[in-house]
Structure 1
Amino acid sequence: MKYALVTGGSRGIGRAIAETLNREGYKTIIFYNSSVEKAKELEKEGIITLKCDVGKREEVRRAKQQVEEITDKLHVLVNNAGLWYLMPFENFDEEKYDKMLRVNLNGVIYTTYEFLPLLKNAGNASIVNIASNAGIGTAAEGTTFYAITKAGVIILTRRLAFELGKYGIRVNAVAPGWIETDMTIGGKSEEEVEKLREFFRNKTVLHTTGKPEDVAHVVSFLVSEKARYITGQVIVVDGGRIDNLTHSV
């Protein structure tokens, strides 16, 4: 039995990743923070759910103890948990920035560090960090501080690829663009959502918007044997954005 852990796995991209890995035969565990009901829904699919705010190291340590009661090996770790606040640089809000930094970047550090012994035990394990095209270069207004946290995830991915390769652990990142999730369209009317879709369709060379499954499929490939010779890479999944610095198109 191979085990996979997905942080922030109850909703959106994390949920799609967890369900995909579960269907592919991994015994999948997710961390969730506030979405209790959505997490419980996944239990019906055989997914193990554990409450954990990855931005708090003591919670990650506690969750690790719970995981160790299930398995002493972790074959896949997907660091997906994240949040964002739109914040123009001139309106810097330290509290919001600290929260993004704590979850988006520190959460990846805490989770990877605490679960490293289990990843080593698995042999040839794989880590995938969910970054963002914002961390490479986005023109989207108000995303400066969010982008900083995701840029940190990208350099952390590359550094970990250097440091953990000796254990056979591959480390890659996926950098999504605008994906339709609770985070991006939640609480909006259908008319507002359609305006967003049209806006972002016009920002991509493929003239389409992304779904959580588009990211999940890339993660599935990266953790598979098909990607055995790939590490330290950042795969951008954004339809070919024409307003960002993520592509040469």
Structure 2
Amino acid sequence: MTRHSMFPSEGVALIIGGTGGLGKEISCLMAESGSNVALTYRQNKEEAAKISSMVEEMGRKSMFEQMKIEDVNSVQELVNNVIANFGSIHTVVYTSGPDIALGYINQVTHDEWRRVIDTDVNGFFNVIHATLPHLRDNRAGTYISVITAAVHKYPARDSLSAVPKAAVEMLTKAVSREEGKFGIRANCVGPGMIEAGIGTRMLEEGFTASVRETMKHDISLRKFGEARDIAEAVVFLASSRAKHITGQTIFVDGGWVHF
């Protein structure tokens, strides 16, 4: 099966958080694989426009729009506009998340905690609530949530990422369990340490060179991942090749979580 037969010619893949290091790669690979792409951004309009143009250069339709994910009305307006432009949504990829710093639990402030939960957990719920009726109407569609391998193997100082993403994982599995009868699938991809986006910043600012080498030694493949590795897993799970896969989490971590 070629990439260009993996998705419907009509409708769109909605990429929530499309301007991040992973979101950009996912958006482009979705287009390369035959899907139209709508992507959201929070602040970086210039990058959103650039990625949207890249999608269109691949012969696919695209749109981009600003969205405040913790605002119910902003999310609903975005989804309404996507439906108006494309008619239907066949895939929702959630690859959004707040910018966070590494820190022990006793260092996390109440304000930081509320911001992360509201942006990540409540934000993802807002996305599900706004998009689910449209996927139900089509009696088909898929959700892919990009979470973190830390939901399975917790590294110290990562609570602001691991805890909300664990909730996102369970919300995704809830959709899988409850909405499968409507032809809807829902899966997660759990990246390990990735040299892209926030992962690059964490590696450079959060760890010394010797610690980075120790981290690599804990990975079976002895190397950090790339954005493309995550995009390949996301596109596979969203595509017709994974039509009987739902409720699963695939860890793309070089073998870190199991050792």
Length-normalised TM-score, structure 1: 0.90
In the other structure, the counterpart of 1:108 is 124
Note if 1:52 corresponds to 2:67. yes
SS in 1 for 2:152: helix
Distance 1:73 1:224 in 2: 16
In the other structure, the counterpart of 2:153 is 137
Distance 2:198 2:23 in 1: 12
Unpaired runs of 5+ in structure 2?
1-9, 57-61
SS in 1 for 2:221: coil
Would you say the 8 A contact 1:72–1:121 is kept in 2?
Answer: no
**CA 1:188–1:175: 2 relative to 1, 3 Å:** closer
Distance 1:112 1:92 in 2: 28
1:189-228 deviations in Å (ceiling 9; x for gaps)? 79x8966753432220100111111000001110111111
Q: CA deviation at 1:40?
A: 1.5
| Pairing partner for 2:25 from 16, 19, 24 | 16
Residue 178 of structure 2 aligns to which amino acid in structure 1? E
SS in 1 for 2:85: coil
In the other structure, the counterpart of 1:94 is 110
SS in 2 for 1:29: strand
SS in 1 for 2:166: helix
RMSD of aligned Cα (Å): 2.1
Would you say the 8 A contact 2:29–2:231 is kept in 1?
Answer: yes
Q: CA deviation at 1:50?
A: 0.8
Q: CA deviation at 1:120?
A: 2.0
Distance 1:222 1:180 in 2: 22
Q: CA deviation at 1:187?
A: 9.3
| Pairing partner for 1:223 from 200, 223, 238 | 238
Note if 1:156 corresponds to 2:165. no
Residue 102 of structure 1 aligns to which amino acid in structure 2? D
**CA 1:88–1:110: 2 relative to 1, 3 Å:** same
Distance 2:224 2:153 in 1: 18
**CA 1:196–1:3: 2 relative to 1, 3 Å:** farther
Distance 2:235 2:52 in 1: 20
In the other structure, the counterpart of 1:128 is 144
Unpaired runs of 5+ in structure 1?
none
In the other structure, the counterpart of 2:82 is 67
Q: CA deviation at 1:188?
A: 8.2
Distance 1:75 1:238 in 2: 27
Q: How does 1:182-193 map to 2 (within 5 A)?
A: 182-186=197-201
**CA 1:78–1:195: 2 relative to 1, 3 Å:** farther
Residue 23 of structure 1 aligns to which amino acid in structure 2? E
| Pairing partner for 1:207 from 222, 232, 236 | 222
Length-normalised TM-score, structure 2: 0.87
Percentage identity across aligned positions? Answer: 26
SS in 1 for 2:70: coil
Q: Which moved more, 1:217-226 or 1:95-104?
A: 95-104
**CA 1:164–1:37: 2 relative to 1, 3 Å:** same
SS in 2 for 1:137: coil
Q: CA deviation at 1:29?
A: 0.4
Distance 1:193 1:51 in 2: 36
Would you say the 8 A contact 2:22–2:197 is kept in 1?
Answer: no
In the other structure, the counterpart of 1:181 is 196
Q: Which moved more, 1:41-50 or 1:23-32?
A: 41-50
Residue 13 of structure 1 aligns to which amino acid in structure 2? L
| Pairing partner for 1:167 from 179, 182, 186 | 182
Distance 2:126 2:104 in 1: 28
Q: CA deviation at 1:179?
A: 0.7
| Pairing partner for 2:41 from 32, 48, 60 | 32
Residue 12 of structure 2 aligns to which amino acid in structure 1? Y
